[in-house]
Amino acid sequence: MPKSLHQRAVEHLGSRIVDGSIPAGEVIVAAELESELSVSRSVIREAVRVLASAGLVVSTKRVGIRVLPPADWNPFDPLVIRWRLAGDGQGAQLRSLTELRVAVEPMAAELAAEHAPAEFCGELLNLAAQMRHAGRSGDLASFLELDIRFHAMVLAASGNEMFANLANPIAETLRGRTELGLMPEHPHEEALAWHQGVADAISAHEPHRARESMELIMRRTNEEICGVWAHKPRLFPQPRA
Amino acid sequence: MPKSLHQRAVEHLGSRIVDGSIPAGEVIVAAELESELSVSRSVIREAVRVLASAGLVVSTKRVGIRVLPPADWNPFDPLVIRWRLAGDGQGAQLRSLTELRVAVEPMAAELAAEHAPAEFCGELLNLAAQMRHAGRSGDLASFLELDIRFHAMVLAASGNEMFANLANPIAETLRGRTELGLMPEHPHEEALAWHQGVADAISAHEPHRARESMELIMRRTNEEICGVWAHKPRLFPQPRA
DNA sequence: GAGACTACATGCCTGCACAGATCGGCGTCA
DNA sequence: TGACGCCGATCTGTGCAGGCATGTAGTCTC
């Protein structure tokens, strides 16, 4: 299925910038890209505009298209997240996202217990039961997908659209952890109980208990992987004016 | 200072979509926009591409440019946040951002205490002292700007680029609260002490205390404003497939 | 009801004029 | 001689105008 030329141009340039093939500070002229990709100016210009809106490049007259340093990238842009997870920045990206999860999900569980509509509660209980079943039978692939849906459901049930929007990158995080072999061989019985506890507490509208159960899950998550990327350098950008 | 035609086109279309002037489901043809803004196709096309990357519209052959419902917008896109804060969605946007702050900032303080370079610690102590001075002398304007810089500094000192990137919207949140008169007349003496506590704990590399001090600040923040938008409807989008 | 047909809006390409930023040469002055 | 400032040449993105190609939606036919 051939994607549009525009998408391919965005992908080509963006992924090369994010994986470091094109270092920050490099300047490119649009004409080069035209011949490199064998596409016309309009395609290049539209792609550059999209990448500029993600903070990857800035284009100025007489100089060309300048690649910006990682500190200027929008780390919440879905494209940036995808490219980082696909390449060298994978470790740092997974760490950032995991830390974000640890911060956000307990709050999401608390809000969900206060505001979640009934159908979300039912679905959460349903998912928790299925997770228990898949976990005990050792069906790791199903468990992963259920886990993803469970956490996405909690985020959506919080009624906070920013939380809900984190579902996709968090799903990628979980998949990434699995690919890297950072998930336990067999889901812990405690983890199953904690997920059940989150679903129960949200359904019973008990915010405090929902938060605490989710905090247990997150604490375990953090412990399992906090050491893995400890050596990766952290970025400390100066807060801009 | 006349901005480029591209920026104006993005602004024009985007702000009208976000403030609801153009309802979801509406279809627009590019030719209309050309005559409406008196610009050429390339400008419109590039603007549409940028808005599409933010999830505001999709453009399909034979049908035109379809405006997407709010659930499809990227709530972390800086442009979307700005437009929402400027218009009708202001309440819901401030609530979302505040909930995000409450979740993220304690974690950021904890991480900062573990990883912050020395220069960040010094600057934090400096800011806390200035805040105390401005707060006690009743200089609310200075206090607001110092408050913004303080929280931005903690987020940056966490070494998590996603946290650091939340500094701008959070600054807007604080300014928005002030404009709406939701800030206390005089900063509480306790709040000053808590900020000092955060700076001290981070400088002393005491993650637990840093988190707890920040939690106190956030709890107060939440109490001050949680009731204000309680009546605003929450969005519960279905998690996508 | 299923398949072919047609109209239409976007996708993509190309040539042109303009604006603004950079760079180099030139002259002046200390 | 060397440093500074002015000014024009040049390069590149910005924007415009028009054209053909392509895929889809709606219609029309059988």
Domain-embedded: residue A64: yes
Residue B98: which of B231, B205, B229, B237 has the closest Cα? B229
- pLDDT at B233 (0 to 100): 85
- Same domain? For A46 and A108 the reply is no
For residue B103, the domain's CATH number is 1.20.120.530
- Same domain? For B195 and B100 the reply is yes
Q: Tens digit of pLDDT for each residue in B111-160?
A: 999 999 999 999 999 999 999 999 999 898 999 999 999 999 999 999 99
- Same domain? For A159 and A201 the reply is yes
- Same domain? For A99 and A199 the reply is yes
Is the model more confident about B138 or about A78? Answer: A78
Q: Closest-CA residue in chain B for A44?
A: B46
- Same domain? For B111 and B30 the reply is no
**If pLDDT is split at 50, 70 and 90, which confidence band does B10 have?**
very high
- Same domain? For B129 and B200 the reply is yes
Q: Tens digit of pLDDT for each residue in A14-71?
A: 999 999 999 999 999 999 999 999 999 999 999 999 999 999 999 999 999 999 999 9
Q: Gap from A66 CA to D1 C1', in Å?
A: 39
Q: Tens digit of pLDDT for each residue in A164-180?
A: 999 999 998 899 888 87
- pLDDT at A238 (0 to 100): 80
Across A225-236, average pLDDT = 82
Domain-embedded: residue A149: yes
Task: Decide if B53 and A152 are in contact by the 8 Å CB cutoff.
Answer: no
By percentage, how much of chain B surpasses pLDDT 70? Answer: 98
- pLDDT at A2 (0 to 100): 61
User: Which distant-in-sequence residues (6+ apart) come within 8 Å of B217 by Cβ?
Assistant: B105, B191, B194, B195, B198
Nucleotides of D under 7 A from a protein CB: 10-19, 22-25
Chain B residues touching residue A235 (CB < 8 angstroms): 159, 161, 164
Residue B11: which of B30, B32, B29, B37 has the closest Cα? B37
How many domains are contained in chain B? 2
- pLDDT at B166 (0 to 100): 96
- Same domain? For B65 and B118 the reply is no
Domain containing B215: what range?
A: 89-225
Across B178-184, average pLDDT = 80
- Same domain? For A108 and A27 the reply is no
Domain-embedded: residue B110: yes
Across A203-221, average pLDDT = 96
For residue A39, the domain's CATH number is 1.10.10.10
Domain-embedded: residue A198: yes
Interface test with B, best of A6, A43, A53, A218 (most B CBs within 10 A): A53
Task: Decide if B104 and A102 are in contact by the 8 Å CB cutoff.
Answer: no
- Same domain? For B51 and B134 the reply is no
**If pLDDT is split at 50, 70 and 90, which confidence band does B177 have?**
confident
- Same domain? For B98 and B207 the reply is yes
Task: Give yes or no for residue A241 having a pLDDT over 60.
Answer: no
A159 → closest Cβ in B100, B102, B236: B236
User: Which distant-in-sequence residues (6+ apart) come within 8 Å of A92 by Cβ?
Assistant: A84, A229, A232, A233, A234, A235, B161
Domain-embedded: residue A26: yes
Q: Tens digit of pLDDT for each residue in A120-134?
A: 999 999 999 999 999
- pLDDT at A91 (0 to 100): 85
* Residue B187, helix vs strand vs coil: coil
Task: Give yes or no for residue B181 having a pLDDT over 80.
Answer: no
Cα–Cα dist A36/B17, whole Å: 36
Task: Give yes or no for residue A185 having a pLDDT over 80.
Answer: no
Q: Closest-CA residue in chain B for A230?
A: B115
Could you tell me if A52 and A58 are in contact, meaning their C-beta atoms sit under 8 angstroms apart? yes
- Same domain? For A17 and A55 the reply is yes
CA distance to A60, A100, A184, B18, B220, per residue, from B70 (Å): 33, 23, 38, 8, 30
- Same domain? For A156 and A212 the reply is yes
Domain-embedded: residue B179: yes
- pLDDT at B240 (0 to 100): 61
- pLDDT at B92 (0 to 100): 87
Domain end call among B72, B97, B115: B72
Across B24-38, average pLDDT = 96
Task: Decide if B103 and A99 are in contact by the 8 Å CB cutoff.
Answer: no
Residue ranges of the alpha helices (H) in A29-166? 30-37, 41-53, 78-86, 90-115, 118-137, 140-157, 161-165
Domain-embedded: residue B217: yes
Domain-embedded: residue A232: no
